[in-house]
A and B are shown apart, each in its own frame.
Chain A
Amino acid sequence: MADAISQVAVDLKPRRQTLERRLGLEHSMFWSTAFRTLRAPGGWSGLLIVMIMVLMSIAAPLVSPYDPLEIHKTEQFLAPQSPYLFGTDEFGRDLLSRTIWAGRISLLAGAFAVTFAMAIGVPLGLVAGFFGRTTDAVLMRVMDTLLAFPGILLAMAIVAVIGPGSLNAMIAVAIVSIPTFARVARSSMLTQKNMDYVMAARALGAGNGRIIFRGILPNAIPVVLVQISVSVAFAILVEAALSFLGLGTQPPDPSWGNLLQTSRKFLYQAWWYGVFPGAFLTTLIVGLNLFSEALRDALDPTRRNLF
């Protein structure tokens, strides 16, 4: 009996304040999501990986030991050793420096493609969802059509039209990414548009544009954020694949994709050639995936702990 009473007393005690509450984060959607994302092991470790990669690419001129294009005639195909930690390539160029510089292209491709895709896809999706009927049917059939192409194949076909190269590959990846953003924004619009606050805004005389972009868009931000983190990884992979197929970044400029492509010619002589760039690319993708997974869990508590 005494035990039971003390148990009740324990239950009645105010619950220990969580760190989240003590910092006063629970009232802000943004900060509480950020907090929960970063508290998850995948969240902080993923972000850490991505940050290291980003910093490394930005500081490429400072951290890479050599110029990525500098040729050392007598030092071709050196296995990893000091001073060439990742070895050298067929022109005696330092592979560590080339791998570091190559990260710039990949990260730029991810950022560019996703910004572009979002800037076009999100308004399209919002408009389709808001107006419904014919607008929706037409826009979404076009998006479905783009989705019916396997991503890499569509990107290849676009590059075939506009020509190979770094920028064109990024544009192709961006176009391929548009429909997913449109879909996400549309479904978010569908759940929002019948809510009371929209009706209230309308009653106050707000126009369609104001309701869509000032009222509903901010509420679509969480799902769009998740989509961004997923799409960046996708964009980086597709750009690397295009470069790998010879349709993206052209040599002598290094990108992870074209380094891997060139390494195939020298598999017998130089095992290290493709191993390191691929490891960097894979690490970055793992980081991005971990982070997006954590972000999704933070935004949707019902999904938590399933994986």
Chain B
Amino acid sequence: MARFIASRLLQAIPVVFLASVLVFLLIKMIPGDPAWVILGENARTVEYEALREKLGLNQPLYIQYGKWLIHVLQGDLGVSQINRFPVGTMLVLKGQATLELALGAMFVSTVLAFPIGIFSAIKRGSLIDRLLTLVTSLFYAIPTFWLAILLVLFVSLRLKWLPPSGRVAPTEDFGQFLRLLILPAITLGVPTSAVLARFIKMSLLEVLQQDYIRTARSKGLQERMVLIRHALRNALIPVVTVFGLQLGNFLGGAVVTESIYLWPGLGSMALHGILTRDYPVVQGVVLFVVVVFVVMNLLVDLTYGFLDPRVRYD
């Protein structure tokens, strides 16, 4: 077990390292010299040279990278060029909002996926199964930005049930916080529910063919018990993987949903950074998201082993 964790960690480290190089280089590749950008076009060459010296821009790239990395490892991701706010602090604040949204979306997708997956597995081949398959294909294909527009049009503007966009802190007004969370959580959760439902169905179908299920049935257990106590438990193992990977996705990939609902999370932060050419912010968010993503993958791998002792770690 310890060896497995160690080897997975060793695999994750180069990925994070390379990602940091990539993020660093990405910003360096942007055309235009930052010194000229800061000084403006009419600056004198002396000033320009002095600023380049001060910013460390005339040092070789690997030294610049090294210095940047040392700062990053100390938790110093620089400050936003727009509002001079420390990027690290911004990440904590925005990360919180993104986490709320991610958990909301996981909740929605679980609530949708379990009934769909279980029903279509036990009623396999029936009309209801086909209908549910159709629903999941639609859920899977629908682009989040279209779904969001439809939801806002119908639920907010037509029925006036929920506010169309924005976020208030849960500590401030919990009721309003939930009302504002519902639509973004549905938008983000629906496509994932399709993935989850398919995995639940597939894995349940596989488990239901096993001998121990026949044993359970033949000893006279009710079908409900067979399903809940015996089948579902084992069927859930692969589902956990999907669940974890999707959560990792949500934490970084909710750019579109966040921007539509004006949800001030990491995705909005990244988009805003890109649109305003605020590069320390872009660097910070992208690096943070990659680290979170890699860590989530690692956790998923480890949980898998805990849940299913048959999985060997070597």
Contact = CB atoms under 8 A, between A and B. Distances in A.
Contacts of B255: 152-153, 156, 241, 245
B249 interface: yes
B157 A141 contact: no
A275 B150 contact: yes
Given A152-B253, A153-B252, A267-B157, A159 B293 contact: no
Given A247-B274, A271-B153, A282 B143 contact: yes
Contact of B293 (A148, A156, A240): A148
Interface string B290-312: 10011001000000000000000
Size category, A interface: 35 or more
Contact of B145 (A233, A260, A290): A260
Contacts of B153: 267, 271, 274-275
A304 interface: no
Interface string A142-182: 10110011111110111111000000000000000000000
A307 B133 contact: yes
B260 to A, nearest CB: 7
A204 to B, nearest CB: 38
The SS class assigned to the B binding surface is helix
Interface stretch (B49-57, B68-76, B82-90, B197-205): B197-205
Contacts of B277: 160
Contacts of A158: 26
A264 interface: yes
Nearest to A281: B143
Interface residues of B, number: 53
A281 B260 contact: no
Interface in A241-289: 241, 244-247, 257, 260-261, 263-264, 267-268, 271, 274-275, 278-279, 281-282, 285-286, 289
25 contacts: A141-B14, A144-B11, A145-B15, A149-B286, A149-B289, A149-B290, A149-B293, A152-B253, A152-B256, A153-B252, A153-B289, A160-B282, A244-B145, A245-B255, A245-B259, A257-B145, A264-B260, A278-B143, A278-B145, A281-B146, A282-B138, A286-B137, A286-B138, A289-B140, A306-B205
Given A148-B19, A275-B153, A289-B141, 11 more contacts: A149-B289, A153-B267, A246-B275, A261-B145, A263-B149, A267-B149, A271-B153, A274-B153, A275-B149, A282-B142, A285-B141
Q: Which 4 A-B pairs have the closest CB atoms?
A: A278-B146, A150-B253, A285-B141, A150-B252
